[in-house]
Copies of this chain bind each other. A is one copy, B any other.
């Protein structure tokens, strides 16, 4: 458990705040505070620890030798959003990375996760990536999810405990309950650098995000490694809303892209230069053209719900928590046994800047 005086101090410093949503009242850590990661949530006496930060390596060969002493599992890093799913009372709910109760994920989880798991393991927490073209949070989706969303379990935690179940135990539970999970590429060691590089080249060609490496040991050291495809894709997808993200978002990705090429021995071709340029330029042109047509820059999201009230709750949550983004509900109608919600995220910074610049405004920079 977390010491009560520590929690009080976190609340006083506004690093933790109470949330009341969908009938649940809990305390949410909105920032890292001492050893407590952002997204940690306390429901009465139960602590759901935030999902820890995983460091990134830029060089595969040197990275694994530097970071790991023992062999390690290699699993796919799926390009979606991270939730923790667990039982509270007689309900099963999903918390976002930041610790918000997500009405969309909570609504849809019975479609993907066998409820027996929580009946028989009420003390466990499924760390899961949700990905697909119809998710309410992120613009990207992996090539192997063609519609709607899918769930991918990648870790299992125990309530009130930091750290994860062992790989064996996790795989046993995934099999027993037929849980959807990320692909496990196997157990690798320092000698397998070439095999690992080949795997990454393949993932890159298939448009997949990368891998998470998890040491097969008590220490369970971890690191992630991302393909150049994913870096390009991040730039392409977000360029339309370039002002929303910290500019390091872009410079970091360009640096990672170049280091991936260097590590994997990928030649600098005109095609690759072109792809990077295109990623920036096309996104910004989209924004300009959309602004000229509709006087705002936005992106439309669509997602499916089992229950209408969860769709409304999602809109409310997004409106309450989005900064510099206006969330506008467009449509909510029944379709093939789902409630289909359509909404726009209007990028206010980009809309404002283009309005100023395109009308001949002056900028001091």
Contacts and interface: CB of A to CB of B under 8 A. Distances in A.
A55 B362 contact: yes
Nearest to A257: B281
Nearest to A275: B277
Residue among A223, A252, A259, A362 having the largest count of chain B Cβ atoms under 10 Å: A362
Q: Which applies to chain A's interface (DSSP): helix, strand, loop or mixed?
A: helix
A171 to B, nearest CB: 26
A248 B243 CA distance: 9
Interface string A282-315: 1011001000000000000000000000000000
Interface size range of chain A in the complex:
35 or more
A62 interface: yes
A239 to B, nearest CB: 8
Given A246-B247, A247-B247, A277-B277, A360 B62 contact: yes
A225 to B, nearest CB: 11
Given A242-B255, A255-B242, A288-B262, A58 B282 contact: no
A64 interface: yes
Interface in A24-72: 53, 55-59, 61-67
Interface of A: 53, 55-59, 61-67, 223, 242-243, 246-248, 250-252, 254-255, 257-259, 261-262, 268, 270, 272-278, 280-282, 284-285, 288, 357-365
25 contacts: A57-B360, A58-B358, A58-B363, A59-B359, A61-B360, A62-B358, A66-B359, A66-B361, A67-B360, A247-B248, A250-B251, A254-B281, A254-B284, A257-B281, A258-B280, A261-B281, A268-B282, A268-B285, A273-B274, A273-B277, A274-B277, A275-B277, A276-B276, A276-B277, A276-B281
